[in-house]
Structure 1
Amino acid sequence: MDNFDGPAVGEVAVEAQLYEEAFAIFKKFNLNVQAVNVLLDNIRSIDRAVEFAFRVEEDAVWSQVAKAQLREGLVSDAIESFIRADDATQFLDVIRASEDADVYPDLVRYLLMVRQKVKEPKVDGELIYAYAKIDRLGEIEEFILMPNVANLQNVGDRLFDEALYEAAKIIFAFISNWAKLAVTLVRLKQFQGAVDAARKANSAKTWKEVCFACVDAEEFRLAQICGLNIIIQVDDLEEVSEYYQNRGCFNELISLMESGLGLERAHMGIFTELGVLYARYRPEKLMEHIKLFSTRLNIPKLIRACDEQQHWKELTYLYIQYDEFDNAATTVMNHSPESWDHMQFKDIIVKVASVELYYKAVHFYLQEHPDLINDMLNVLALRVDHTRVVDIMRKAGHLRLVKPYMVAVQSNNVSAVNEALNEIYVEEEDYDRLRESIDLHDNFDQIGLAQKIEKHELLEMRRVAAYIYKKAGRWKQSIALSKKDNHYKDAMETASQSGERELAEELLVYFIEQGKKECFASCLFVCYDLLRADVVLELAWIHNMIDFAFPYLLQFIREYTGKVDELIKDKIEAQKEVKAKEQEEKEVIAQQNMYAQLLPLALPAPPMPGMGGGFAPPPPMGGMGMPPSMPPFGMPPMGSY
C-alpha cells in the first residue's frame, strides 16, 4: 500500500511502539531523516543507522548519525560522519569529545573541514593544538604562515602549559614573544637559544629563569651571561647569590661576581656581595678585595659577614675604614694575635672615644706584647692619666718595664711618675739619674725619699739624701748627714745656702774640734758672707789657727777697706754735686733778671668814660725808647688816668 499519509502513519506507528513499521513507512516515503531517527532513538541501532546512511548518502542523515555516535562516545566514527555530512555546527562538542578521547588525528581532519565553513579563533587554535598533539610541527609552521584567526598567544601558552614545548617554541618565535620563547627553550634544554631569546626580551624575570635553569643544568658559562644582566639590579642580586649558594655553586658564583666588577653599571651591592663570598669561601682573597674597593663597599654588611666568619684582621680593617675605632681596638684586643698589628694598633688607639680603652690597651700589651708597651704608651702619652698607668704597672709588679715611658713623660712633673722613677733609680743605685730627677722634678715626697736612702749602704745614695734635705730646707739634717759621711764640702755648701750664721759658726767649731784645719780654712771662704770676723779671729786665736784664718782676715780687711774707700768717694762726689747744683741755680736766677730788663713796653691805658673817644697821642719818647715819665719795667706813669 502506498496511498496513505506516510508521515502521519509513521508517527502513529512510533507512538504505538511499532518501530520497525515506522522505519519502513518513513523509508518507503523517503523520509530518511525520520527513518534514521527511529533507528537511532527508538530501535537504538547505530550500526543499522550507519548502514542506512551509506545507502541514502544524505548529509542530514549523516549528521543525525554523527550526533548519535558522538553521544555514545564513538568520537572517531562521529567525526567521520560529520565530515560526510559536511556539518560544522557541532564543532565545540566534537572538539571537547575528541580531546577527551585523545583522537587528535581525526580531530585535525574535522577541523580542516570546519574552518572552510566558519572563521572562529577557537577552531584555528584547536587545529594548531591538535597538530601539536600529533607532532605535526611542519603543518603548524605552514598554518601560522597562512591567514588565520587563531589567538596565537593563548595557543602558545596552552601548548607551554601542557609541555608541548616544540610547538610552543614555533608559536612564540612567530609572535616574537621572546620572554616566553626563552623559557620554552629552557624546557627544551636549548640553553644557548634561551640566552639569545632572553637577550632580546631583556627582562629581569626572563634572565633569572634562564640563569637558574642554566645553573641547574650546570651550564655555568651561559648562566654567567645571564647573571651579569641580573646582578646589575640591586634587588635581584641577592636572589641570584642565594640560588647559586643553595646549590653549592660557590666558585661559579664568585666568578660571576668578579666578572660583574668590570660592568659599567657595577654598583656597591656587587662589590659587597663579592666580599661576603670571599669571607665565606675564599678568605685568602678577602683582605686584598677590601683594600682595593673599600670606598665601594657596604661596610656594615661586610662587617657582619666578617664577624660571622671570624675574620678578625679583616674585621679590624673594616672598622677602621668605617671610623669605628673603638670597635676596631676592642676586636684587636679580644682576638689577638690574628688581628694584631702593632703599627696599626697605635693608629687605632689614639682615635678611640672611650678613655677606658686606653687602660685596657695597657693591660693587653702587658700580657701579650710587653716588649712593645713603651712604644704604645708613648703614643698615648698626651691622653692617658700617668698616675693610673703607674698604678696599673705597680700592681702588676712590672713597674720597671715602663721606665722609658716614665722618663719620657716625667717633664709633666707628675708625683706618681717621679716617685716611681726615683724608686727605680734607688733600686738600680743610679745616683746620677736620681740626683738629676730630684733637681728637675720636685713633685714627690722628698722627705720620705730622703729618709728611705739616708741609711743606704751606698755612699753616693746617702749623699743624695743629704742633698734632698738641703733642697727641702732641712739644713741641720743635711749637714749632719754630710758630716757623718765626711762630705765636708757638701756640709759647707749647705751651711752657706742656708743663710743661717749659727749653722756656719757651728760648722767652724766642728772642724776645729775634729782638727780639720784645712776644712776650717775652706769653710771661712765658703761661708764668708755668714761669718763674723771677730768670731773667726777669736776661734783662730784660741785654737792656734791664726795661720789658717789669716787669708780670710786679709780678704775681710781688703773688702772693708774697699767699702770705706767707696763711701768716702761717694761722699766727695755728693758734695761736688751739691755745689754744682747751687751754682747752676744762681746762674739761672741771673739769666732770668737779664731777660726781664729786655721785655717790650706796655700799651697805654684806654681813656676813662667822659674823656672823649679815641686814644691820646703818644707822649714824646725819652732815652732808650721809653717815655720820660715811664717808670721801670713798663709800669704806667702815675696820674695817667
Structure 2
Amino acid sequence: MKPRHVCSFPSTQQVCFACVDGEEFRLAQICGLHIVIHADELEDLISYYQDRGYFEELIALLEAALGLERAHMGMFTELAILYSKFKPQKMREHLELFWSRVNIPKVLRAAEQSHLWAELVFLYDKYEEYDNAVITMMNHTTDAWKEGMFKDIIAKVANVELYYKSLSFYLEYKPLLINDLLTILSPRLDHNRAVSFFSKMNKLKLVKPYLRSVQNHNNKAVNEALNNLLTEEEDYQSLRASIDAYDNFDTIDLAQRLEKHELIEFRRIAAYLYKRNNRWRQSVELCKKDKLYKDAMLFAAESKDAELAETLLQWFLEEDRKECFAACLFASYDLLHPDVVLELAWRHNIMDFAMPYFIQVMREYLTKVDEFAAKVTVDKLEEAESFRKTEDDVKEPQQMVFGQQLMLTSATTPVAPQPAYPAYGYPAPTAAAPAAAGYPAQPAYGFNI
C-alpha cells in the first residue's frame, strides 16, 4: 500500500506576508482584512509591515479595516499610534471620531513621544486627567493652548495650586484675558491669597473687574484693595458707595489716609468714617477745617453731645456765620439749653436769628404745661368720683334678721341693777334704795304718795 501524501495549504497570514514581499499590496490588503480582526495576530502583521518600511500601505490597510463588523479596539489604537508617527496631521481627526474606541493610555504615550501636545491635551481631557492637561497647555503654549478649552478644563482640576500657576501664566502670556479666567476660578479661589498675589505683582489695577465681582462676599482684603484703587483713581463717588455697602475694612486707617488727601471730597469721606466710629469731635473738627458746615451740624446732632453742639454754635459765631448759627439751633434742637442759646444770642446781638428757636421752645413748654394741667384736673376728678363712691357704699343700709334686731335693741337699752332680796331675816328693799343707787324711785302699787 502506497503512503498517502498530505497536501498542506498556506495560512492567510503566510499569503499576506508573501504578497507584501512581492509588493502585491492590493492582494496583501485583501488578506490583511481577514487577519486584523484577530487581536492576537494584529501585532505580528504591523511589525512585518513596519520592519520593511511599508507604513503607507499599513495605514491604508487599517483604515480600510475600521469599517468591518468585527473591528476592535486594537485596530483603532494602532492606527492612532501610526498616525502619531507618520501622519500627525490626521491624528486629531481620528481621535475626535474614535477617541472612545482607543486605548487612551497607550495613545497618550505615543502622542507624548511624538510631541503632539494638542492631541495630548485632547486625550487628557477625555481621560479626565485635567491636571495634566492644564500643565501641558501651560508648558506648550504655542501648540497646545486654546482659550476656550483652557477655561473649560481649569475649572475641573483637583489641585487648586494650579489656579495660581495659571494666574501667573496668564499674567505673562495673556494678561488681557485674566479677568475672564478669574471669573471661572472665583468660586474656588482664596480671595485673600489672590489679592496678596496681585499686590506683589503690582497688578491690582488689571484685575479691578474681578475685585468688583467678588466684593459681595465682603472680604476684608478685597474691600481694602478696591478702596485703595478707587482712592488712587480719585473716584470719590464709587469709594463712598463701596464704603456704605461693604463695611469689612480698617476704617480708621483709611480715614487717616484720606484726611490728608488733596481733594476735599476725600477729606469729607474721612470725616464720615470718623463719625461711623463714634469719633464725633474728630469728625466735626475735620468738617470745620474744610468749612463743611452742613456736615458739621449733622454730625454734632447725631453725636447727642450737648457740649459739642454748643461748641459748634460758638464757632459759628466766631466765624460770623449767623445763618449757620440759626440752622444749627434746629439741627441740634434737642441737645441745646435755652439759657445758653439766649446768652449767646444776646451777647452777639443776634436775637432775630435766635427768635424762631425761642418761639418753638415757648410753644413746646406751653404745650407741656397745658398737658400737665389737663392731666392734674382729670386726676382730681377721678379721685373725687372714687371718694364719693366709697361714701355711698358706707351709707347703704344693711338688712338684718329679726333675731339680730332684738339683740341690738336689748344691747342699747340700759337696765337698772336689781338688788338682791334678803333671806332669813335681812330687811326688804325700800323705795329709797333705788334712789340711792342713782335710779328714780318707782311708786308702790302705781300710786303717788
Q: TM-score normalised by the shorter chain: which range applies? A: 0.7 to 0.9
Deviation of 1:447 after TM superposition, in Å, equals 1.5
For residues 66 and 386 of structure 2, the distance between their equivalents in structure 1, rounded to whole angstroms, comes to 103
Provide, for residues 529-565 of structure 1, a one-character-per-residue CA deviation record: whole Å limited to 9, x for no partner. 2222222222112212221122222233333444455
Name the structure 2 match of 1:368: 173
- Pick the aligned partner of 1:508 from 286, 290, 313: 313
Alpha-carbon displacement from aligned partner over 1:277-321 (angstroms, at most 9, x marks no partner) = 222222222222222222222111111111111121221121111
Alpha-carbon distance, 1:209 to partner? 2.1
Residue 223 of structure 1 corresponds to 28
Map of 1:327 onto structure 2:
132
CA positional deviation for 1:362: 0.9
Q: What's the counterpart of residue 424 of structure 1?
A: 229
Q: RMSD across aligned C-alpha pairs, in angstroms?
A: 2.8
Q: Aligned partners of 1:581, 1:368: CA distance in 2, in Å?
A: 95
User: How far did 1:363 drift?
Assistant: 0.7
| Aligned positions of 1:393-472 closer than 5 A | 393-472=198-277
Mapped partners of 1:578, 1:339: distance in 2: 99
* Mapping for residues 594-609 of structure 1, pairs under 5 Å: none
- CA-to-partner distance for each residue in 1:484-512, whole Å, 9 max, x for gaps? 11111111122122222221111111111
Task: Tell me the distance in 2 between the aligned counterparts of 1:329 and 1:582.
Answer: 96
Q: How far off its partner does 1:214 sit?
A: 1.9
The change in CA–CA distance for 1:566 and 1:272 in structure 2 (over 3 A counts) is farther
What pairs with 1:57-456 in structure 2 (closer than 5 Å)? 119=1, 149-153=2-6, 172=7, 177=8, 181-182=9-10, 206-456=11-261
Aligned residue number for residue 532 of structure 1: 337
CA distance in 1, matches of 2:356, 2:386: 45
**Which stretch has the larger CA shift, 410-419 or 228-237?**
228-237
- Cα gap change, 1:292 to 1:578, in 2 (>3 Å): farther
CA 1:560–1:399: 2 relative to 1, 3 Å: same
Q: Which amino acid is 1:347 matched to?
A: D
Instruction: Tell which has more relative contact order, 1 or 2 (C-alpha 8 A, sep 6+).
Output: 2
**Residues 262/545 of structure 1: CA separation in 2 closer, same or farther (3 Å cut):** same
Aligned residues: 394
Q: Write the letter of the residue equivalent to 1:245.
A: Q
CA distance in 1, matches of 2:383, 2:101: 95
Partner secondary structure for residue 320 of structure 1: helix
Deviations 1:15-68 (A, max 9, x none): xxxxxxxxxxxxxxxxxxxxxxxxxxxxxxxxxxxxxxxxxxxxxxxxxxxxxx
1:368-396 deviations in Å (ceiling 9; x for gaps): 11111111111111111111111111111
Cα separation, 2, equivalents of 1:245 and 1:584: 128
1:561-572 counterparts in 2 under 5 A? Answer: 561-566=366-371
Gaps of 5+ in 1: 1-118, 120-148, 154-171, 183-205, 586-641
What is the CA–CA distance in structure 2 between the aligned matches of 1:346 and 1:240, rounded to whole Å?
A: 43
Whole-angstrom distance in 1 between the partners of 2:211 and 2:81: 45
- The structural deviation recorded for 1:353 is 0.9
Amino acid at match of 1:150: P
Partner of 2:142, secondary structure, is coil
Deviation at 1:453, TM superposition (A): 2.0
Instruction: State the secondary structure of the residue aligned to 2:205.
Output: helix
What is the one-letter code of the residue matched to 2:40? Answer: D
CA drift at 1:355 = 1.4
Residue identity opposite 1:275 in structure 2: A
Give yes or no for the alignment of 1:478 onto 2:283.
yes
Superimposed CA distance per residue, residues 106-151 of structure 1 (whole angstroms, 9 cap, x where no aligned partner): xxxxxxxxxxxxx4xxxxxxxxxxxxxxxxxxxxxxxxxxxxx233
Question: Could you give the per-residue CA deviations for residues 561-590 of structure 1, whole angstroms, max 9, x where no partner exists?
Answer: 4445555566677788999999999xxxxx
TM-score (normalised: structure 2)? 0.81
Partner-residue secondary structure (3-state), 1:399: coil
1:303-351 per-residue CA deviation (whole Å, 9 max, x = no partner) reads: 1111111121221121111111111111111111321122221221121
Q: Which runs of 5+ in 2 are unaligned?
A: 391-449
Aligned-partner Cα distance in 2 for 1:390–1:425: 15
Distance 2:299 2:216 in 1: 27
| AA matched with 1:337 | T
Identity of aligned residues (%): 55
Distance 1:344 1:515, change over 3 A: same
CA distance in 2, matches of 1:542, 1:437: 46
Instruction: Give the letter for the 1:369 counterpart.
Output: K
Q: Letter of the 1:419 partner, please give it.
A: E
Residues 181-228 of structure 1, C-alpha deviation per residue, up to 9 Å, x if partnerless? 33xxxxxxxxxxxxxxxxxxxxxxx23222222222222212222222
Cα distance in 2 for residues equivalent to 1:582 and 1:379: 84
Q: One-letter code of the match for 1:151?
A: R
CA distance in 2, matches of 1:577, 1:211: 128
Deviation at 1:235, TM superposition (A): 2.3
Equivalent-residue separation in structure 1 for 2:150 and 2:62 (angstroms): 33
Q: Distance in 1 between matches of 2:4 and 2:71?
A: 41
SS in 2 for 1:380: helix
Structure 2 CA distance, aligned partners of 1:216 and 1:539?
A: 123
Take 2:21 and 2:373, find their aligned partners in 1: how far apart are those partners? 124
Q: Does 1:542 align with 2:347?
A: yes
Q: Equivalents in 2 of 1:389, 1:258: separation in Å? A: 51
Alignment correspondent of 1:19: none
User: Could you tell me how far apart the structure 1 residues matched to 2:303 and 2:121 are?
Assistant: 62
Q: 1:334 to 1:556 in 2, by over 3 A?
A: farther
Instruction: Name the CA shift for 1:571/1:270 in 2 (closer, same or farther; >3 Å).
Output: farther
Q: Rg bigger for which structure?
A: 1
Secondary structure of 1:479's aligned partner: helix
Residue 439 and residue 241 in structure 1: after superposition, are their counterparts in 2 closer, same or farther (change >3 A)?
A: same
Where does residue 627 of structure 1 map in the other structure? Answer: none
Give the whole-Å Cα distance in 2 for the aligned partners of 1:584 and 1:378.
83
Aligned equivalents of 1:235 and 1:556: distance in 2? Answer: 109
Q: Secondary structure at the match of 2:206?
A: helix
The change in CA–CA distance for 1:410 and 1:247 in structure 2 (over 3 A counts) is same
